[in-house]
Amino acid sequence: MEPLLTYRGRAVTAGDVQKIRALIAERPGASRRELSKALCEAWNWVQPNGALRDMVCRGLMLALDRAGWIELPPVRQRPPNPLAERRRPPEVAVEETRIAAELAAVRPVTLRQVRRTPEERLFNSLVDRYHYLGYTQPVGEHLKYLVYGQGRVLAALAWGAASRAVGCRDRFIGWSAEARRRNLRFIAYNTRFLVLPWVEIPHLASHVLGRCARVLSVDWERLYGHPIHLLETYVDPTRFRGTCYRAANWWLLGQTTGRGPSKCHKPNRPRKEVLALPLDRRFRELLAA
């Protein structure tokens, strides 16, 4: 049966629409949130960690409602948009005395995964104050690391969900559109990397990238129920050379097209270099499966 609509990889047929209408009719007093959860349970539509795909399902039902195929109940409340009304992270005090030393002098360097820990507030504060892009709250799966040496914080790294489509990366992997839809979750994107401005330790950045690459997949699976096979990042060549990534054996795959979300499909942002690091020798086989 030809699908009426495809949303985030989920094809919806006329038969599906009939079942959704019946689900809505069976629950006349249910809210949109309750209906989306009920539909997730009926379809067994879950994330890799077993949690319901509630937000995605709600977007799907809204798309069907706007297309006129179903009729959702009225909106009961409109929660504030955390992105439109975003507050800056509270400032957390940290020692800012200059650290100038060789890497060997500050070893052992310790990486702490601070997502969902009390130290997450410190991470958010440091990135917001000292990273040129500031801090934005990640959406979806993500991890945050703080790097310590000699009892002091030296650096911070954030990892999040990979971009849906990057031409040079997708050609490098050699996967189909369907394989990309299924397996994109196995790629992690280095969204922020900050060495604090008072830290002057040669080779620290590449050392930290190497250390993080050895533990990230295990940490990701512990929190989200699946491993990571490939890391990616984007470097603005007008600002940076990406030396620490290259020194940590990341591969230069090419450049982005400079096209972000745009109806005219014309470049609307700087072109960036795309770098990647496989975490498994079989990464192509695993991602293209």
Q: What digits encode the pLDDT tens for the residues 200-243?
A: 999 999 999 999 999 999 999 999 999 999 999 999 999 888 99
AA identity, residue 195? V
Q: What pTM was estimated for this model as a whole?
A: 0.74
Whole-Å CA distances, 284 to 179, 204, 269 = 11, 30, 29
Q: So what's the pLDDT on residue 78?
A: 66
Q: So what's the pLDDT on residue 211?
A: 96
Q: What's the rounded Cα separation, in Å, for the pair 250 and 232? A: 9
Q: Rg (Cα) of the chain, in Å, rounded? A: 22
Closest CA to 140 of 116, 112, 160, 117: 160
Q: Which residues pair with 108 in a beta bridge?
A: none
DSSP assignment, residue 52? Answer: B
> In what helix (H) or strand (E) does residue 213 lie, and over which residues does it extend?
helix 204-224
Q: So what's the pLDDT on residue 88?
A: 85
Query: Tokens in use for 98?
Result: 């200059």
Show the domains of the chain with their CATH numbers: 5-66 (no CATH), 99-288 (3.40.630.30)
Task: List the 152-161 sheet strands across, edge first.
Answer: 110-113, 143-149, 152-161, 187-195, 230-235, 273-278, 251-255
Q: Residue 255, SS3?
A: strand
Q: So what's the pLDDT on residue 48?
A: 73
* CB neighbour list of residue 15: distance below 8 Å, 6 or more residues apart: 1
DSSP 132-147: TT------SS-EEEEE
CA 116 to chain centre: 16
Instruction: Looking at 79-166, list the stretches that DSSP marks H as alpha helix, in order from N- to C-terminal side.
Output: 103-106, 120-130
Inter-residue contact 178 to 194 (CB < 8 Å): no
Q: Which residues of the chain have pLDDT under 70?
A: 1, 77-86, 259-268
Q: What's the rounded Cα separation, in Å, for the pair 111 and 109? A: 7
Q: So what's the pLDDT on residue 259?
A: 64
Q: So what's the pLDDT on residue 247?
A: 96
